[in-house]
Amino acid sequence: MQQHDITRHLATPLMNPAFPPVIPRFTDREYLNIVYRTDRDALRAVVPEPLEIDEPLVRFEVMRMGDVTGYGPYTEAGQAIEVRYDGERGEYLHAMYLDSFPATASGREASAYPKVAGSPALYVDHGALVGVLDHGSVRVATATMGYKHHELDPEEAAAQITVPTFMLKLVPGFDGTAQTAQLVRTEISDVVVKGAWRGPARLQLFEHVLAPLADLPVREIVSASHILTDLTLAPVRPVHDYLAR
């Protein structure tokens, strides 16, 4: 293979890349969102500058992907923290756990999503929408919501999931020092809300050293939503360079 051919490839392994060269379209993406109040000091310890915190609010989410271009179905769970950057309100993606290696590799390498392996699930059980997250054989989160108790306005549902999203892009060099250290921004586009509901909810987070969701403890449930949608993820763009002199 000649040198100019190598740069046409997206990822390694060279002849069998970990993820496909596609811009994925998500069809029948189903959310369970629970927004809760946590400790302000706990957020200050994990939210990177120059992001700012107003209210100490966290959104725990479980997302079941019905079909994704290039990846197929998979499930994802994580935490997003409400923040503000340069006057714009959004969310900082703190942690994401997936049961799909290609989606995990693509999210981290081609973008900046903080994705690692996990075992999330989203299902209905005796009148409750249930979202769980396991790390190996250990349960680290259990979320329950009343199943389709009240309809949610589609515009409000779309607004919940299309807020600007901020993430850290960290790439080490071969000597262990940072080669890339950027705060990046993205958002969801081309949204079609197929159904949306709100209702009562509960959330339990359990201590685990390798999945420390409970470091942002649940103090008060603020709101909960159940959303079914089609959408596309926009490319990320850097908004702050930590290595700039």
Sign of CA pseudo-dihedral 205, 208, 214, 216: negative
Is there a contact between 165 and 96 (Cβ–Cβ < 8 Å)? no
**Which one-letter amino acid corresponds to residue 189?**
S
Is there a contact between 196 and 152 (Cβ–Cβ < 8 Å)? yes
Query: Among 115, 148, 169, 194, which one carries the catalytic annotation?
Result: 115
**Which one-letter amino acid corresponds to residue 105?**
A
Instruction: Mark whether 115 is an active-site residue.
Output: yes
Output the CA–CA distances (angstroms, integers) from residue 2 to 6, 18, 20, in the order listed: 7, 21, 22
- Indicate which residues carry an active-site annotation: 115
